[in-house]
Amino acid sequence: MDARAHMTRIVHRSIAHSYPVAVRGEGIHIWDAAGKAYIDASGGAAVSCLGHGHPDVLKAMHAQLDKLAYAHTSFFTTEVAEALGEDLVAHAPSGISHVYFVSGGSEAIEAALKMARQYFVEIGEPERRHFIARQQSYHGNTLGALAVGGNAWRRKQFAPLLIETHHVSPCFEYRGRQPDETPRQYGERLARELQQKIEELGPKTVIAFIAETVGGATSGAIPAVEGYFKRIREICDRHGILLILDEVMCGMGRTGTLHACEQEGIAPDLMAIAKGLGGGFAPIGALLVGKKIFEAFEKGSGFFQHGHTYLGHPLACAGALAVQQVIRRDDLLANVRRQGEHLARRLGERFGNHHHVGDLRGRGLFQAVELVEDRGSKAPFDPRHKLHARIKQEAMARGLMVYPMGGTVDGQRGDHVLLAPPFIADSQAIDTIVERLGEAIDASIASLPGAGKKSR
Ligand SMILES: Cc1ncc(COP(=O)(O)O)c(C=O)c1O
């Protein structure tokens, strides 16, 4: 049975595509209605950090459901939301004192943008109105999040609806660092670019700089070069500009530390988290809020002018709290680091000399393979071939879920495959993932028009 065979009424992501029907999940696997098993090597889109059907999470959610499924936040708070708030602040980057709960990543970004703007109204700097973000970034699909996002293809047809935003270069070493630059010099150059953009707009008109700590969906696990974020933090501080980090995808343990920014030695003023927060057991996201921002609201209007119906949903909070407790109890971040190293090693062995793999990158269990037509020139494949879509199909045929995407270079050209296996994966699972991915990539390249000689 597939979606088309039973005349779907759903507007699926791709209308013409037949999706298998997922019926069951356990551990690192999802099964479809035909009984076929898929290893979830991407956690969907870096969501399912504990895999599927984790018994402790289900137990906590069942218990909450039996007590109370929903209470609107304009009437009540709940024990479970308060407990999750305490838990998140206790393990947050320094300076974070409060949490604003939402239902996903885009909502967390919308809340960040509005909170950042209202903060400056609260402190008497209403002339601040600009957001600076990075090209090739992804911050979500709602209009505000899309406006700060820097992916050309995603923005294009909606451009007339988007608020004005400004973009600087991403920190994308493979594509951006010049051959005569050290990583540090490259980071310095990017920091100068931000500084120039701020001067051009007028430092007193800028609200915030927003960036994914490790780039994800649109670029494929790109960590910053050493020192980059320290310089960014300094520049923001110098001008009283807020630093908003988007750790919706790379956060909550995915890179081997609870927050990706820990590895950069900096803390943000506001930080969006989602995906791994609830591990897919229920839709949840959160905005982590710095003390100085909270206090400005507390001393000012006492009211953040925002809100949604499902803020702090008790069932979602119960799921997220259980996910975070299991990660700590089972010391799963150590496994993320250990299996992350194993994954990097295996990818290196399989693809290090592959004619069509230009770059392997990432941190922890957040890694990517970038495909190129020519390794020497880094020229991508013709985007009309949609290599990324072929890889997804070939991987699914082999019982493997990975997260390939096109437009890696500039929103149009380039292909990469993102891997984000569950934190519970063992080295045997990692070996199987790399083996199936290798087969899927080779089969996809072999299927390209005019393919042949060079594929391995
Ligand atoms: C970095 C980042 N920010 C925001 C989002 C949007 O999150 P959601 O799809 O939950 O709205 C995503 C989703 O992929 C993301 O990767």
| Distance between Cα 42 and ligand 1 center (Å) | 14
Measured over the CA atoms of residue 301, residue 307, residue 310 and residue 315, the dihedral's sign is negative
> Which residue CA neighbors atom 10 of ligand 1 most closely?
105
| Distance between Cα 110 and ligand 1 center (Å) | 11
Residue 346 pLDDT = 98
- Nearest-CA neighbor of 396 among 134, 57, 18? 18
- Nearest-CA neighbor of 55 among 25, 23, 85? 25
CB 112 within 8 A of CB 276: no
Around ligand 1, the residues with Cβ closer than 6 Å are 45, 104-106, 109, 138-140, 212, 216-217, 246, 248-249, 274
**What does each C-alpha distance from 417 to 344, 347, 364, 369 come to in angstroms?**
14, 12, 15, 5
In testing the pocket of ligand 1, which one of 103, 134, 139 has its CB within 8 Å of the most ligand atoms? 139
In testing the pocket of ligand 1, which one of 275, 308, 403, 416 has its CB within 8 Å of the most ligand atoms? 275
* Mean pLDDT, residues 380-384 taken together: 97
* Mean pLDDT, residues 248-255 taken together: 98
**Per-residue tokens: 261:** 């920014």
- In ligand 1, the atom with minimum distance to the C-alpha of 283 is 10
In testing the pocket of ligand 1, which one of 106, 146, 154, 261 has its CB within 8 Å of the most ligand atoms? 106
3-class DSSP state of 292: helix
Residue 277 parent element (H or E): helix 275-278
In testing the pocket of ligand 1, which one of 109, 110, 249 has its CB within 8 Å of the most ligand atoms? 249
| Distance between Cα 6 and ligand 1 center (Å) | 30
- In ligand 1, the atom with minimum distance to the C-alpha of 109 is 4
Q: Which amino acid is located at 38 in the chain?
A: Y
Residue 450 pLDDT = 82
| Distance between Cα 398 and ligand 1 center (Å) | 27
d(C-alpha 129, C-alpha 363), whole Å: 34
DSSP3 helix / strand / coil % (the chain, rounded to 5): 40, 20, 40
Ramachandran sector of residue 148 (left: φ over 0; alpha: ψ -120 to 50; beta: rest): alpha
- pLDDT tens per residue, range 114-134: 999 999 999 999 999 999 999
Q: Is the pLDDT of residue 61 over 90?
A: yes
Measured over the CA atoms of residue 14, residue 285, residue 122 and residue 236, the dihedral's sign is negative
- In ligand 1, the atom with minimum distance to the C-alpha of 107 is 11
- pLDDT tens per residue, range 338-377: 999 999 999 999 999 999 999 999 999 999 999 999 999 9
d(C-alpha 246, C-alpha 284), whole Å: 15
- Nearest-CA neighbor of 363 among 213, 240, 234, 230? 213
> Which residue CA neighbors atom 8 of ligand 1 most closely?
105
- The distance from CA 370 to its chain's CA centroid, rounded to whole angstroms, is 17
Residue 360 parent element (H or E): strand 357-363
| Distance between Cα 208 and ligand 1 center (Å) | 19
Measured over the CA atoms of residue 419, residue 420, residue 421 and residue 423, the dihedral's sign is positive
**What does each C-alpha distance from 391 to 20, 174, 385, 398 come to in angstroms?**
17, 22, 11, 11
Residue 452 pLDDT = 56
Chain mean pLDDT for the chain: 96
d(C-alpha 356, C-alpha 291), whole Å: 48
Name residue 25's beta-bridge partners.
30
pLDDT band at 3 (very low <50, low <70, confident <90, very high): very low
Sequence-separated (6 or more) residues with CB below 8 Å from residue 156? none
| Distance between Cα 45 and ligand 1 center (Å) | 9
Residue 99 parent element (H or E): strand 96-102
| Distance between Cα 294 and ligand 1 center (Å) | 24
| Distance between Cα 58 and ligand 1 center (Å) | 24
| Distance between Cα 405 and ligand 1 center (Å) | 14
- pLDDT tens per residue, range 132-190: 999 999 999 999 999 999 998 899 999 999 999 999 999 999 999 999 999 999 999 99
3-class DSSP state of 35: coil
- In ligand 1, the atom with minimum distance to the C-alpha of 246 is 1
Residue 105 parent element (H or E): helix 105-122
The full DSSP string for 137-152 is: ----SSHHHHHH---H
In this prediction, what percent of the chain has a pLDDT beyond 90? 96
Question: Rounded to 5 degrees, what are φ and ψ at 74?
Answer: -85, -10
Q: Which residue has the higher pLDDT, 330 or 3?
A: 330
| Distance between Cα 34 and ligand 1 center (Å) | 30
Question: Rounded to 5 degrees, what are φ and ψ at 178?
Answer: -75, 150
CB 331 within 8 A of CB 248: no
| Distance between Cα 389 and ligand 1 center (Å) | 20
